[in-house]
């Protein structure tokens, strides 16, 4: 189970907006390989905080400022990782092949890069729009200990 800790910044009718501090969430500060690891390097280039809108269960009482735990099951994480790696790879190969057959070598490179970009954009839209269908919405629970 993948877990992240954050705090509630906004509460609406049946949903909560949770802010996650990514620097503490990714664990790079405690790792001895942080200077040579690609994950740590990419983590420092992106924003330090992320906000996620999460549905609330009726039994869970959440208020502003509450420290919460977001969790996603292991099968869901594997399904999402498979999508995020294989779909762009297949789009890249397909774009390069179509570009090569129709327009030649120079357009194959351009088509590969364009199809890669469109696949990432399409996946982002699809995951945001169909999160309920794909069952990739994180579950929310109150954290027992406060994480600052």
Backbone angles phi, psi at 8, to 5 degrees: -80, 125
Kindly report the average pLDDT of the chain as a whole number.
78
Q: Per-domain residue ranges for the chain?
A: 2-142
What pLDDT is attached to residue 97?
95
pLDDT score at 115:
96
As a whole number of angstroms, the distance between CA 148 and CA 45 comes to: 21
- What are the tens digits of pLDDT across the range 60-87? 788 888 888 888 888 888 888 888 899 9
Q: Which position has the higher pLDDT, 20 or 26?
A: 20
Strand segments (E) across 1-148: 2-12, 15-21, 49-55, 67-72, 139-142
| Per-residue model confidence (pLDDT) at position 126 | 83
């Amino acid at each position: 189970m993948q877990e992240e800790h954050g705090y509630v910044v906004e509460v609406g009718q049946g949903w909560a907006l949770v802010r996650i501090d990514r620097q503490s969430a990714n664990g790079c500060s405690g790792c001895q390989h942080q200077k040579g690891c690609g994950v740590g390097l990419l983590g420092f280039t992106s924003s330090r905080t992320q906000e996620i809108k999460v549905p609330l269960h009726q039994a869970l009482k959440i208020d502003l400022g509450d420290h919460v735990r977001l969790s996603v099951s292991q099968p869901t994480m594997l399904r999402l990782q498979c999508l995020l790696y294989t779909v762009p790879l297949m789009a890249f190969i397909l774009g390069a092949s179509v570009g090569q057959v129709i327009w030649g070598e120079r357009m194959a490179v351009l088509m590969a890069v364009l199809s890669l970009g469109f696949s990432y954009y399409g996946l982002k839209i699809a995951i945001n729009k169909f999160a309920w269908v794909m069952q990739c919405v994180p579950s929310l629970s109150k954290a027992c200990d406060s994480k600052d």
